[in-house]
């Protein structure tokens, strides 16, 4: 129907997809990420894999861990769960040293919450900037990590938004976005039946519009009764299709936080 399952390249993409989720749905949604067979080093910001520039210490990487520290102006693979200082990147301002001990994943979450992401280093000039900030003899996390996950459409970027403790090595081989955890990702069994998110070219995607209506009604029936809502929706659908001459329009009610569709005018309504 479209192009593929959704790929997600940034926190902005996560937030956009969360805004598309039907109000009130609490659960997981398939995205296009699945466990691959080849491990690659990539940057947390997701904009590129490890490219032409690298700065490994002699004999590294050697399997010591799946995350990377900078120490004495070189990189070493390291155990991701060790709490260390870390360096964030702040768009438009450069590197920020955070002198608080955190695991690599907690450091990533902190950088994404307060700055842009963990530091990316793609040239000798950027490496020099980092060592001038940090100095020598200090272990600091940077944004490089070893990744074995891949997008189903073969998209090459490395942005990941795993929930705490994920990706699990035992839960499955496919990734889902959790609507009850700010769009964080979790590993699920690929055979689980879940709702899913697709992407496609703009002319392939059917647009969704939200329209507010005001209903004047003098009867005693409850407009939030499902049968009444179905009757009203059918009448609206007839009018819209008749005016637009389109036969592929689908209408549905958007539920408010209290589970109802209609609110009496003058009643307190947090949703506007």
d(C-alpha 66, C-alpha 41), whole Å: 9
- Residue 22 in this model has a pLDDT that exceeds 60: yes
Mean pLDDT score, 186-200: 93
Q: Does residue 157 or residue 135 have the better pLDDT?
A: 135
Is residue 208, in this structure, part of any structural domain at all?
Answer: no
pLDDT per position as a tens digit, 88-143: 999 989 999 999 999 999 999 999 999 999 999 989 999 999 999 999 999 999 99
Q: Are residues 168 and 109 both part of a single domain?
A: yes
Q: Does residue 24 or residue 167 have the better pLDDT?
A: 167
Q: Are residues 221 and 167 both part of a single domain?
A: no
Task: Classify 60 as helix, strand or coil.
Answer: coil
- What is the structure's pLDDT at 223? 76
Q: Global pTM?
A: 0.69
Q: Are residues 224 and 100 both part of a single domain?
A: no
- Residue 179 in this model has a pLDDT that exceeds 60: yes
Is residue 239, in this structure, part of any structural domain at all?
Answer: yes
Is residue 206, in this structure, part of any structural domain at all?
Answer: no
C-alpha closest to that of 117 among 98, 133, 101: 98
Q: Are residues 33 and 89 both part of a single domain?
A: yes
Is residue 205, in this structure, part of any structural domain at all?
Answer: no
Q: Highest mean pLDDT range out of 17-31, 105-119, 216-230?
A: 105-119
Is residue 243, in this structure, part of any structural domain at all?
Answer: yes
Q: Are residues 171 and 252 both part of a single domain?
A: no
Q: What is the number of domains present in the chain?
A: 2
Phi-psi region of 30 (alpha: psi -120 to 50; beta: other; left: phi over 0): beta
Q: Positive or negative CA dihedral for 91, 97, 99, 103?
A: positive
Is residue 209, in this structure, part of any structural domain at all?
Answer: no
Q: Are residues 112 and 157 both part of a single domain?
A: yes
Domain of residue 153, residue span:
4-199
- Residue 266 in this model has a pLDDT that exceeds 80: no
Q: Are residues 138 and 263 both part of a single domain?
A: no
The gap between the terminal CA atoms of the chain, to the nearest Å, is 35
Mean pLDDT score, 176-194: 95
Of 152, 170, 199, the residue that ends a domain is 199
Q: Are residues 79 and 105 both part of a single domain?
A: yes
Strand 84-90 versus strand 140-151 pairing type: parallel
Of 166, 199, 232, the residue that ends a domain is 199
- Residue 212 in this model has a pLDDT that exceeds 60: yes
Q: Are residues 27 and 103 both part of a single domain?
A: yes
Give percent of the chain above pLDDT 70: 82
Phi, psi of 244 (to 5 degrees): -95, -15
- Residue 207 in this model has a pLDDT that exceeds 60: no
Is residue 207, in this structure, part of any structural domain at all?
Answer: no
Please tell me the least confidently modeled range out of 41-50, 158-167, 180-189. Answer: 41-50
- Residue 268 in this model has a pLDDT that exceeds 50: no
- What is the structure's pLDDT at 261? 76
Is residue 140, in this structure, part of any structural domain at all?
Answer: yes
pLDDT per position as a tens digit, 235-261: 777 776 666 555 556 677 766 656 677
Q: Are residues 140 and 193 both part of a single domain?
A: yes
Q: Are residues 230 and 194 both part of a single domain?
A: no
Give percent of the chain above pLDDT 90: 54
Of 168, 199, 230, the residue that ends a domain is 199
Q: Are residues 156 and 245 both part of a single domain?
A: no
Q: How confident is the model at residue 209 (pLDDT cuts 50, 70, 90)?
A: low
For residue 152, how many other CB atoms are within 10 A of its CB?
Answer: 15
- What is the structure's pLDDT at 51? 66
């Amino acid at each position: 129907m479209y192009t593929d399952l959704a790929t997600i390249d940034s926190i902005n993409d996560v937030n956009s997809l969360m805004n598309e989720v039907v109000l009130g749905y609490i659960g997981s949604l398939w995205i296009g990420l699945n466990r691959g067979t080849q491990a690659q080093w990539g940057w947390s910001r997701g904009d590129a894999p490890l490219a032409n520039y690298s700065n490994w210490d002699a004999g590294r990487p050697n399997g010591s861990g799946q995350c990377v520290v900078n120490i004495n102006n070189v990189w070493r693979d390291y155990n991701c769960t060790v709490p260390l200082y870390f360096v964030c990147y702040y768009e438009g301002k450069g590197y920020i040293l955070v002198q608080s001990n955190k695991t690599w994943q907690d450091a990533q979450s902190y950088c994404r919450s307060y700055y842009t992401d963990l530091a990316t280093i793609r040239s000798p000039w950027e490496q020099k900037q980092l060592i001038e900030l940090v100095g020598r003899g200090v272990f600091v996390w940077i944004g490089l990590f070893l990744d074995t996950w891949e997008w189903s459409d073969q998209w090459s970027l490395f942005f990941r938004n795993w929930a705490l403790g994920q990706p699990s090595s035992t839960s499955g081989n496919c990734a889902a976005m959790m609507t009850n955890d700010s769009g964080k990702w979790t590993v699920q069994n690929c055979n689980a039946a879940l709702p899913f998110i697709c992407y496609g070219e703009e002319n392939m995607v059917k647009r969704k519009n939200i329209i507010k209506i005001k209903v004047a009604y003098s009867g005693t029936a409850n407009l939030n009764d499902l049968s009444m809502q179905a009757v009203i929706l059918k009448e609206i659908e007839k009018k819209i299709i008749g005016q637009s001459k389109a036969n592929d329009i689908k209408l549905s009610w958007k539920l408010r936080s209290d589970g109802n569709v209609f609110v009496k005018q003058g009643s307190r309504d947090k949703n506007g």
